[in-house]
């Protein structure tokens, strides 16, 4: 049985109202002097969400329970649209082919991994993108190109038919999902005919890929 259902997307009208986001585990030791020593064992965060707050009707709850059964509970992963961060640029901006760097050509390499860079106050963090969707835009030296390359939507790997020339600047733009799985048991949730308001949390956890 596949461990990830690539064609399954958590209902987007429910994910729109589901809070959550990235977090790093932090090991914080307060010293006798009042100073702190802080460390994390992770180079990148994992994202967690609670879909409970996006469920507003019994019909929406049934959609979630249907996905839960198809996913065999916590066993299989699926796609999730994080409305706070799902585009190559800011979520309120239309993607362009120049949004994010994809790599620099060396005349030999033909495959490049999609990633997104976050920058603030001179610091930056690079996030690997593995579940792109919709129209993905690619540019070589600032010129958009619609052919000569292919995309694996299950890994975020871009493959060029011919290796980009030495020093060619590659860039991309588009949208992406977060790979997640259920991180809770939903076997005790009861369907109700009245408005949904007292169901327990429906936790989702990002998958490390």
Domain check: are 2 and 78 in the same one?
yes
Percent of the chain residues topping a pLDDT of 70: 94
Domain check: are 76 and 95 in the same one?
no
What pLDDT score does 161 carry?
98
pLDDT tens by residue, 27-36: 899 998 988 9
Domain count, the chain: 2
Domain check: are 80 and 183 in the same one?
yes
Domain check: are 171 and 99 in the same one?
yes
Domain check: are 96 and 168 in the same one?
yes
Domain check: are 159 and 186 in the same one?
no
Domain check: are 59 and 130 in the same one?
no
- The residue assigned the tokens 């585990």 is 25
pLDDT tens by residue, 71-119: 999 999 999 999 999 999 999 999 999 999 999 999 999 999 999 999 9
Domain check: are 35 and 107 in the same one?
no
Domain check: are 74 and 96 in the same one?
no
Domain check: are 2 and 45 in the same one?
yes
| Residue 188 scores a pLDDT above 90 | no
Domain check: are 79 and 94 in the same one?
no
Neighbouring CB atoms inside 10 A of 180's CB total: 27
Q: Cα-flanking dihedrals φ and ψ of residue 110, to 5°? A: -115, -15
Cα torsion 2, 7, 13, 16: sign: positive
| Residue 61 scores a pLDDT above 60 | yes
Domain extent at residue 154: 88-176
Domain check: are 123 and 162 in the same one?
yes
| Residue 192 scores a pLDDT above 70 | no
What pLDDT score does 197 carry?
58
């Amino acid at each position: 049985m596949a461990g990830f259902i690539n064609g399954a997307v958590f209902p987007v009208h429910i994910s729109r109202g589901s809070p959550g986001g990235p977090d790093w585990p932090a090991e914080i030791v307060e010293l006798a002097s009042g100073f702190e020593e802080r460390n994390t064992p992770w180079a990148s965060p994992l994202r967690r969400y609670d879909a409970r707050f996006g469920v507003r009707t019994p019909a929406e709850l049934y959609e979630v329970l249907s996905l839960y059964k198809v996913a065999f509970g916590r066993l299989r992963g699926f796609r999730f649209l994080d409305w706070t961060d799902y585009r190559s640029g800011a979520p309120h901006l239309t993607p362009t082919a120049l949004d994010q760097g994809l790599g620099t050509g060396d005349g030999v390499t033909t495959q490049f991994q999609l990633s997104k860079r976050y920058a603030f106050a001179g610091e930056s963090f690079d996030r690997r993108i593995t579940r792109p969707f919709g129209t993905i835009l690619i540019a070589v030296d600032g010129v958009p190109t619609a052919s000569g390359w292919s995309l694996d939507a299950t890994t975020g790997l871009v493959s060029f038919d011919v290796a980009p020339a030495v020093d060619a600047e590659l860039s991309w733009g588009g949208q992406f999902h977060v790979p997640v799985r259920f991180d809770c048991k939903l076997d005790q949730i009861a369907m109700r005919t009245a408005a949904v308001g007292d169901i327990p949390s429906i936790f989702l956890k990002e998958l490390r890929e």
